[in-house]
Chains A and B, each alone.
Chain A
């Protein structure tokens, strides 16, 4: 395999491994938040922030952990027919069907980018990428204060806690992006298997 592909796969897998290993420990954060929620409810006044924060942590847990779980090959398949094929045949079929996955993730990512722009207050008459462009230009020319000028009405959750939604949407976007990179890496690995190489 060309060197650039080999290093792509190595880098993506290394990044996703580390991100996934970090996300793995979020389950304790989840437990801590929910514990605090029941303690505060019993002994003090109920905490408003716990419910949604826990949900945000859960979303981060599996979206950031998704690529790592794909590395570990834990996503189930229907193996009625698939299971009886040779490793090479499996790689051949996967090398085609993985484009379904890649396409799904691309659309998902596009939706995520758009939704994050909305949560940052993208004006309705401005395109998504124009908005991000303005945001980045303003940040580099005028610093954080200029960048905050570009931001519009920021989306908040419709609860009494009213958290901003852009942090979790950004994390979701990142998770989906990493999943896409991992899916492409898996495609290269399938190609390597077909050629009888190890990646």
Chain B
């Protein structure tokens, strides 16, 4: 059997095992061990464990449990509640202002943790009920929370970019900086979209009443601004030592986790219940991620061993006779289509190791591609039938928001994200300017 066919067969059997609904890490692991035993015979049984131990050499992976911990401290302890209040008071006066404020809230939360879960939890439990009460259109605000929270994986610190960095063997620092402007640009585009829609149809996002606005004194307004200092402080405590080279990436993540815990303790919010939930959820999510990565490493070791990447490269370049840009566009397209069916961990595990080396060998900048990759993952997060955010949203949102609302609400925002993706593809400098400025080209 040719290597291409082995690769296709492995890929196809994994799709089948995944579809059976067994745990994802088991579905990947079983294909990996069976392929290893069949292809290698003696010695094949050592491959899965040997590949797993490679995990220890992936130093940046240490950040994963720490960022997850941080996210749960922030969302469970409710130290971000004041932030919402800040935006509420400052932005409430204009039509759609609370929705725009929610995007701002999401950007700040994204700057404090590396996944979208925390933003999702805070958005769905604090912002959504409040917005519904004010008569905001539920389909719009459900989209706002989902799109906004997905910024968590693009705005630094970002766990997805850390995992990408390991696959692409690219520096995490540069990748994180590359995510800054695309993240802010996308947030600005969301804001513009909300503003325009509410301008055309003010009933989608009614402004706060005059009496309510008047009831908040200027002194109170200024006092609330202090809430905005917390994210700035937490973000700075991680990023300043890191960018200056005083701490390494993982040390910074530990610092961030400690600062977030201290902030929660000082605010008197780190109760026994919060502590228990934070610890348990952190372990649950970390273990889930790590076991998937473990299985994926075994899968990857076998997959690389049969030269699958070379086979795919040859298929695109020689058999189809395409140029680099055509290949890139085709890849992004297939990525988006697969993204609607696979969730982001599966994408990371299956698609990234396949595509990333190919992008590199085509001569594209891997830092730039990291940003494109992350935005595609964001879209994958949100699009049905598989989407981590969709399930979380269903679990956390108030009951009057139905599953159909959730599905319909994302359409315009996915459109905005696709536009952002296109812009960054055409103008790579949106992503690359900052890392080049800081680290030199």
Contact = CB atoms under 8 A, between A and B. Distances in A.
Given A31-B258, A80-B386, A107-B48, A74 B27 contact: no
Contacts of B283: 20, 23-24, 27, 61-62, 65, 68-69
Contact of B246 (A38, A78, A98, A114): A38
A33 to B, nearest CB: 8
B50 A115 contact: yes
Interface in A54-89: 54-56, 58-59, 61-62, 65-66, 68-70, 72, 74-83, 85
Contacts of B328: none
B284 A69 contact: yes
Interface in B226-277: 241, 246-248, 250-251, 253-255, 257-258
B33 A98 contact: no
Contacts of B37: 107
Contacts of B386: 78, 80
B76 interface: no
Nearest to B342: A78
Chain A residues touching B, range: 35 or more
A136 interface: no
A20 B284 CA distance: 10
A6 interface: no
Contacts of A98: 22, 26
A93 B284 CA distance: 24
Contacts of A72: 280, 284
Given A20-B283, A54-B62, A31 B257 contact: yes
A55 B241 contact: no
Contacts of B26: 75, 97-98, 100-101, 104
B330 interface: no
A61 B36 CA distance: 27
A172 B27 CA distance: 21
A35 B255 contact: yes
Given A24-B283, A38-B241, A114-B49, 7 more contacts: A20-B283, A23-B283, A38-B248, A61-B286, A70-B23, A97-B21, A169-B53
Interface of B: 17-27, 29-30, 32-34, 36-37, 45-50, 52-53, 55-56, 59, 61-62, 65-66, 69, 241, 246-248, 250-251, 253-255, 257-258, 279-280, 282-288, 290-292, 295, 298, 341-343, 345-346, 385-386
